[in-house]
Chain A
Amino acid sequence: MRRYAMSIAGCWLAAPLWAAEETTATVPAENLATALAADTVWVVAAAALVFFMQAGFALLESGMSRAKNSVNVMMKNYMDVCLGTLVFWLVGYGIMFGDNPSGLFGTSHFMLADAEPWDYTVLLFQTMFAATAVTICSGAMAERTRYDAYLVASAVIAAVIYPVFGSWVWGGLYGGSGWLAELGFIDFAGSTVVHSIGAWCALAGVIVLGPRTGRFEADTGKVRDIPGHNLSLVALGGFILWLGWFGFNGGSTLAAGADIGLICLNTQLAAAAGALGALLFSRATRTPILLTVTVNGSIAGLVGITAGCASMEPQWAILTGLVAGIVAMAGGQLLLKLGIDDVVGAVSVHGFAGAWGTLAAGMFVTGKLFDIQQIAVQLTGIFAAFGWAFPLALLTFLLVKVLMGLRVTTAEEQQGLDVSEHYEVAYPEFHKDMTYFRQ
């Protein structure tokens, strides 16, 4: 904690110390300028790493989808970044970080301009977070969602659902404070704020959409596997996400400080432990140890540690990641039993593991292990996230369904969304007998 009034209570976006009056009085101005420059470089670099995570999501989700839908998945991920960026600049940033006297949402700094250089840095970094939250829906809803309808729902998530909850935890950068932050809620880099919120929106989306045609046997409800078309892409996507997570968690210090080491180490340990947790779960349940399961296990570990990576010792990070891997796998099976078709396992990996990670962040606080009061606050935040995001996303998707139509027809599903939505195919040779395309 070099220059920031960062605390484990989620106040990590409080004013930098180089901007505080008492500090400027005692530290030479050139040192402060150097510190600001170093912080800016680090946060912008971290933003670039988080941006790169979008490539990871795109590869992972595309690889887990059938070849005939891979362009559509890529397009959704691509446009999530584009739309999320514009919408977050337009309204999201103001709602999330603007002056927040009520503790419920920000009311200033919309369409940020004529601001301080540091404001632009934070906006850039936070824009990547918003895009991440939005893109979580994409994979879950893959292979049967209308492109236009999906984009409309994405814009609502980026404009309202994500930033309002974010303001409760991280809000008040320009005055005031979020009500969850006031309670002392710990979510350092967004296990709940980013990942669970995205996952609860995804859960609403897949419920409204319904499963892919044939995913469950009509009479018995038996689950039918629909393997992805390219496991190499899945593995590469997993590696890229892992890499990007060092920026996601490390950059959340908003300062080029010594604490980044522990944060990134915890991130690494939890990811590794998450994959191990998934392996143990597979062994315990006598199911094959799949690549997709292993990659999802490590991502669950990453999601899990995101809340507490700055506030726990490495051994607890390992436990957090290990349990996150198990929770995600068990959650995935639960969803299937409920007849919910999440193509990439986003709800279990980002939602269930995110909730567990947020709880773990309160349980394993260095010097304050298993503090009941902190755990109660964490549970409050976890349920508040679900209570806010899920119903609102459900309403959003239902409205989109009624007004625009959310799901493609079965004929389009058969043909593949690459052709039906984009008139473009990723692998023309793969399904030459399935489509009559550009003859």
Chain B
Amino acid sequence: MNEITKRRAVYTVLSEVIDGDQLWEVMWRWQRGYAAKSQYELHGFFNDCRHIAEISANRSKLYKDLIGLLMGSGDGLREDPYGLMEEFSDRASSVEDVGADDLLAWQQALVCVLASLLRQIPPEQLQTWRGRVEERAQQQGVAADLVYAFSRIMLGKPHNVDMVFSPLQLKHLLNQVYVVMCEMFGPVQADKQLAQAVERANRMQPGGLDARKLLQQK
């Protein structure tokens, strides 16, 4: 079975449960890590995607369906999504070309914003807030390692800044942080606190990445 057919099968199955950027991120994860591997490695792929609620909840069915499609005649497969994956990839990196150093700058900016936010959350609500952010981030498909790093930052413990996350993932996490702030403190307060955190983050790291880029969507 060639790679295109395998990609179409993965796409057909996954698009039943997830969509949008999350789908393309998962497709790229498969493309980069599993496209060249045998179908016996698919458990590993689903394991990598366990932080996505829709996948972990339907894991056995998705696996079964995918194997069924890979073993079948190719009927019912959706069109090859590679063009759409490339579009996503272009979009994700269109903010600017991101090199390894830049990626670290993005992460550093996020750490600064989160650290600033940490100072603004009432201490008695901090634990609830952190728990909700973690829960929501996992539900929304933020990489498990990034959620873990977030928890470490919020607990004031050393975080794994040496790991590299895409700007898209970092933005995605910050958005979940914002949504939980809206839900807990109201959107007015959330906007104010986020603006202050971004402003403070920029002061904390002069010459670093403008933290406002973490809020830029297009």
Contacts and interface: CB of A to CB of B under 8 A. Distances in A.
Given A433-B199, A436-B210, A226 B194 contact: no
A214 B190 contact: yes
A142 B218 CA distance: 21
Given A225-B188, A226-B187, A412-B217, A433 B195 contact: yes
Contacts of A66: 191
Interface stretch (B33-41, B50-58, B174-182): B174-182
A434 B213 contact: no
A436 B215 contact: yes
Contact of A433 (B181, B183, B198, B216): B198
B91 interface: no
A188 B201 CA distance: 60
B184 interface: yes
Contacts of B196: 433
Interface in A225-257: 225-227
Contacts of B212: 433-436
Contacts of A217: 183-184
Interface in B160-218: 171-172, 175, 178-179, 181-188, 190-191, 194-196, 198-199, 202, 210, 212-213, 215-218
Contacts of B218: 420, 423
Contact of B195 (A224, A226, A431): A431
A414 B215 contact: yes
Nearest to A223: B186
A121 interface: no
A225 B188 CA distance: 8
B194 A414 contact: yes
A215 interface: yes
B191 A434 contact: yes
Given A411-B175, A414-B215, A420-B218, A214 B182 contact: yes
A224 B187 contact: yes
A109 interface: no
A434 B215 contact: yes
Contact of A434 (B175, B183, B188, B195): B195
Contacts of B182: 213-214
A410 interface: yes
A212 interface: yes
A150 B162 CA distance: 44
Contact of A214 (B183, B202, B215, B216): B183
Contacts of A227: 188
A420 B175 contact: no
B24 to A, nearest CB: 15
A218 B175 contact: no
Nearest to A222: B186
A433 B178 CA distance: 14
Contacts of A68: 191
A149 to B, nearest CB: 16
Interface size class of B (residues with CB under 8 A): 20 to 34
A108 interface: no
- Chain B CB count within 10 A is highest, among A213, A215, A217, A227, for A213
A415 interface: yes
Interface residues of A, number: 27
A213 B178 CA distance: 10
Interface string A61-89: 00000101000000000000000000000
A214 B198 contact: no
Nearest to B172: A411
A410 B217 CA distance: 11
Nearest to B202: A433
A412 B182 CA distance: 14
Nearest to A436: B212
Contacts of B185: 214
Interface string B76-98: 00000000000000000000000
Contacts of A435: 212, 215-216
A213 B187 CA distance: 7
Contacts of B216: 415, 435-436
A436 B213 CA distance: 6
A430 to B, nearest CB: 10
Contacts of A410: 175, 178-179
Interface string A194-231: 00000000000000000011110110000011110000
B175 A414 contact: yes
B198 A213 contact: no
Contacts of B188: 224-227
A439 B95 CA distance: 12
A215 B183 CA distance: 8
A308 to B, nearest CB: 40
B178 A414 contact: yes
Contacts of A218: 183-184
Contacts of A420: 217-218
Contacts of A213: 179, 182-183, 187
A276 B188 CA distance: 30
A214 B184 CA distance: 7
Given A214-B186, A218-B184, A411 B171 contact: yes
B187 A214 contact: yes
A406 B183 CA distance: 21
A419 B216 CA distance: 9
Nearest to B183: A218
Contacts of A226: 186-188
A388 B185 CA distance: 39
Interface of A: 66, 68, 212-215, 217-218, 224-227, 409-412, 414-415, 419-420, 423, 431, 433-436, 439
Q: What are the nearest 8 A-B pairs in CB distance?
A: A214-B182, A436-B212, A224-B186, A214-B187, A433-B195, A218-B183, A436-B216, A411-B175
